[in-house]
Amino acid sequence: MTPRDGSDVPANPWSDLERPPLAEAGLRRSLVREGGLWSSLEVVPRTGSTNTDLVQRASAGPVAEGTVLVAEEQSAARGRLDRSWSAPPRSGLFFSVLLKPGEHEVPVARWGWLPLLTGVAVASALSSAAGVDTALKWPNDVLLTVEGEERKAGGILLERAGADGVVIGVGLNVSLRADELPVPTAGSLTLAGAKVFDREPVLRAVLRSLERWYVEWCAAEGDPALSRLQEAYAAGCATLGRRVRAILPGDRELIGEAVAVDGDGRLVIATEAGGREAVGAGDIVHLRPA
């Protein structure tokens, strides 16, 4: 790992005692077990994007479902619509997992629920493990309450990997201070007053929660109602009941009230013209009450 000042002296991962490195061996012992979802776990000091790396691995040859790749720092992290973002080394959790719903007979039409499932898993894990108030913004943002305001502290990115798999990337701000935030509207566990912001127990909680939700969803063949995923997402979604602006593909814009998430994971908006429209892709802006 190269120091951030560009010198040739290798950086010491223990140089910042407030942000110690993750213990790969300990994480592997606690998460990788026979009969469990997680088949392997690797922590790398730095990479461009864990999602890109894992997609490339899956494209190059057989990779087992449940492979987890974690980076202490990402130099080319991506969000939706290829937006880039960055964070100081070891200030957050940056990881990707390979899942293969096709091997569990989940119809491809239901794979669109996976980002929402991951959001439910992350939010519930943070609430229980870190003691923070969480909410979800459709379709893939994790919100925390900072100084009485909802702030984005995490994002989720899904990419196809082969015929039967997907790679899901999660980025979560853990110890970022106010002066380190990429934008003023961002947040972190530290700024939200978390009881726990040691990254290892948080990562364990998130992966265990993701495993539980994914296994139940697969057992229901991806049915969001039978697996209770649709109910859980609606209960934790801050977008529902809000007046929103949806910026849709083709630069089309839609304003109205978000009233439901349908069986396909689409956001249903009651428009100002009196109709209803289901949105499957787009940017959603929460508007203040008129």
Please tell me the predicted confidence (pLDDT) of residue 12: 62
Please tell me the predicted confidence (pLDDT) of residue 75: 86
- Distance between CA atoms of residues 126 and 210, nearest Å: 12
pTM of the model: 0.91
- Distance between CA atoms of residues 198 and 202, nearest Å: 7
C-beta separation of 54 from 67 below 8 A: yes
Average pLDDT, the chain: 91
For 63-120, the pLDDT digits (tens) are 999 999 999 999 876 555 455 566 899 999 999 999 999 999 999 999 999 999 999 9
pLDDT surpassing 50 at residue 9: no
For 172-221, the pLDDT digits (tens) are 999 999 999 989 999 999 999 999 989 999 999 999 999 999 999 999 99
Lowest mean pLDDT among 5-9, 116-120, 226-230: 5-9
C-beta separation of 170 from 206 below 8 A: yes
Please tell me the predicted confidence (pLDDT) of residue 261: 97
Please tell me the predicted confidence (pLDDT) of residue 18: 83
Please tell me the predicted confidence (pLDDT) of residue 249: 86
The confidence band for 10, taking pLDDT boundaries of 50, 70 and 90, is: very low
Closest CA to 83 of 118, 49, 47, 122: 49
pLDDT surpassing 70 at residue 3: no
Query: Which domains, from first to last, does the chain contain?
Result: 24-236 (3.30.930.10), 243-286 (2.30.30.100)
Residue found under tokens 């013209």: 273
For 251-286, the pLDDT digits (tens) are 899 999 999 999 999 999 999 889 999 999 889 999
Half-sphere exposure of 73 (CA within 13 A, CB side): 16
Amino acid in position 80: R
